[in-house]
A = this chain, B = another copy of it.
Amino acid sequence: MSAPATTMMERKAGRQSIRFLAPAAIVGQMAIGGRVEREGPLGDRFDTIIPESYYGEASWEKAETKILKEALTHAIGRAGLQEADIDLCFSSDLLNQCTASSFAARSCDIPHFGLCAACASFSAGLLMAGMALDAGFARRSVVGVSSHHDSAERQYRFPTELGIQRPPTAQWTVTGAAACVLAGSTQIAGAGALPKVTCGTVGRVIDMGIKDPYDMGSAMAPAAIDTLLSHFEELGKKPEDYDWILTGDLGRVGREIVAEQLARRGLDLGERYSDCGVLIYDPARQDVHAGGSGLACGATVFCGHVLKAFQAGHVRRVLFAGTGALHSPTTYKQRESIPAVCHAVSIEAV
């Protein structure tokens, strides 16, 4: 008799990738969007739509904090759990000092780790939660992120009220928040059908010299290419092993670069590849230029669209590769280029 496969496998696979030996399962999720998101092709996949951008608060920043807190609370509730059942919370957002994340966490009685990888923070959180749960440092964990079009626009670019014209490569920051609850393998009975975090690839920070904050797709694409190449090579996987391969928020410009450059390197992702920033809006009807961006872009598509596709049995294996641009208005004004990172996480219900 040979030993069980798990004892033969190592958790570390190559330079960047990891395998989970006791994969955590996703047992609850929540996706909240705004008006523009409701009008997009995935409008009906959101669990809640906020009626207007202030959401009853005195500022967009406070509104963002409120929807992130609601996403965390409802994801926990929909998993049939309470805050006291959750051992670790991982969260992030786009505001300076990630204040939506910290301010949402101050009303949660949950041990908290704040992450800072811009729009790659959600997949970073899934990987970290997966590690903590696999090894038994926690039994259940929640991962939540947010972004808000108006708070991001005025922080990163111009006061929203100015109505500055945007170039075609610009992307539209998604207003929303999403969270999902993960449970360790010992906490779930009959988890066969549940989507599980099975493996992943931790990104390196890549900077190819792009300086235009209105072209984040081009700035982030090289990080996605680097992480995806490592993922398939180190874990011995092929694109056909996934039903869907989704990058987080490259938009149309970045998506094209990734598809073309990977094909040149012999990795043809084909029709199974898309980008959450491409999926979330309809460019024929919506004035969103190159597509969606922001932490809520990838995270709401993941929690609203991808996890519902798992539940409906439409997909069984999805690679989610969150992408983040790691600049700030200060670095831009100091003539720096835009570094980026991409963390990929494999979700499988098998």
Contact = CB atoms under 8 A, between A and B. Distances in A.
A62 B333 CA distance: 12
Identical chains in the assembly: 2
A315 B173 CA distance: 51
Interface string A98-115: 110111011011111111
B139 A116 contact: no
Interface string A139-154: 1000000000000000
A330 interface: yes
A87 interface: yes
Contacts of A329: 96
Nearest to A329: B96
A50 interface: no
Interface residues of A, number: 62
B113 A114 contact: no
B137 A12 contact: yes
A348 to B, nearest CB: 18
Interface string A1-31: 0000000001110011010000000000000
B205 A102 contact: yes
A235 interface: no
A243 interface: no
Contacts of A311: none
Contacts of A96: 96-97, 328-330
A88 B239 CA distance: 26
Contact of A326 (B97, B118, B203): B97
A115 B112 contact: no
Given A103-B336, A116-B101, A331-B103, A131 B124 contact: no
A61 B330 contact: yes
Contacts of A108: 204-205
Contact of A99 (B99, B121, B326, B341): B326
Contacts of A204: 105, 108-112
A334 interface: yes
Given A328-B99, A330-B95, A124 B113 contact: yes
9 contacts: A15-B87, A88-B202, A96-B97, A99-B331, A103-B326, A103-B336, A105-B339, A113-B202, A131-B131
List of 8 A-B pairs having minimum Cβ-Cβ separation, nearest first: A135-B135, A116-B116, A102-B326, A111-B202, A96-B96, A114-B116, A97-B328, A106-B339
Interface of A: 10-12, 15-16, 18, 58-59, 61-62, 87-88, 92, 95-99, 101-103, 105-106, 108-118, 121, 124, 128, 131-132, 134-139, 155, 202-207, 326-331, 334, 336, 339, 341
